[in-house]
Amino acid sequence: MNKSEQSKTLITKKKKTFKDLLKSFRVQKELWIICLIALVWVVVFCYIPMLGNWIAFFSYTPGKTMADSTFVGLKYFKRFFSLPDVWRILRNTLAISTLNLTIGFAVPIAFALLLNELRNGFFKRFIQTISYMPHFVSWVVVASLMFTLLGSDGIINEGLIKIGLLKEAVPFLNKAGLFWGILTSANIWKGMGWSAIIYISAIAGVDGELYDAGSVDGLGRFGKVWHITLPGIANTIILLFILGIGNILSAGFEQQLLLGNTMTQETYEVIDTYVYRYGVQMGNYSFATAVGLMKSVFGFGLVLLANKLSKKFTDMQLF
């Protein structure tokens, strides 16, 4: 096939695709209108603000336009890596993100599997409802609860002292070595039930006849979970894991600022909190934007890499 024939074939395919799209719009007008509203929202609140990333390459002063600002290229990107605390900040960010991406990712899956094994419908719905309620609680409230529980005069310290396990109160929230574990536990408690919803929905889509066949083959409850349920939701797990990898440089913000203090700053300071202090509070908006843009580009690259590896080793991919 010569180039002319290839070009004609390509044009024909494009026309066919366009006709199929118009046909789909005529048949499913209501669905397209609903999707259009969502797309408009995404464009207005997600894509249009991205135009402001130009200030990462300029010495920007609020109130000035691009024409009034001096082009500095990669100056602010280089500045970030030249900061004295950068490696400590990267260590904290990657450590907290890794804990969230491993333990914090696995717990909702395990919770969804356990919840699916409950046979009492009322009790199952009750547990599911109260499990995702913490998702709607602000981090300000969560931080207050953590101080009430783990503070020097908190409930846990008082209880341990009364039963004789401690002689004096332990300031859990002031110990840098405990901060990662406390923060990960808080993240899991707050997000476990909400994250499990999508896995519960995926489990509901597994063909019930497979469980019947498993019973005939002698599979117990654990065997059904391992050989039927988990493979049935594998696509969902991999999809969410790939998307989660893209946020590996986003280890949180509010929880660190609310739960952290000067005694735990060595382990709680992450990229977002550091940029907030160094960039926003000090008025260096170009620097803050540069670091945010760097995080987004790095995260997008990780998503592409994870998607490629997933396709190679599991034959499953996001796109």
Domains of the chain (ranges; CATH) run 1-73 (no CATH), 75-314 (1.10.3720.10)
CA–centroid distance for 15 within its chain: 39
pLDDT of residue 21: 74
Q: If the chain, 319 residues long, is cut into consecutive pieces of 10 residues, what is the mean pLDDT of each piece? A: 54 64 79 85 89 89 82 90 88 92 93 90 88 91 92 88 86 90 93 92 89 87 90 90 87 88 90 85 87 87 85 75
Looking at residue 36, its pLDDT comes to: 85
Give the tokens for residue 244.
């989660």
Question: What is the structure's pLDDT at 278?
Answer: 80
Single pTM value for the model: 0.83
Residue length, the chain? Answer: 319
Task: Give the model's pLDDT for residue 100.
Answer: 92
- pLDDT for residue 12: 58
pLDDT at 1: 53
| Predicted local confidence at residue 3, as pLDDT | 53
Q: What is the pLDDT of residue 166?
A: 82
**Cα–Cα dist 248/97, whole Å:** 5
pLDDT at position 8, please?
52
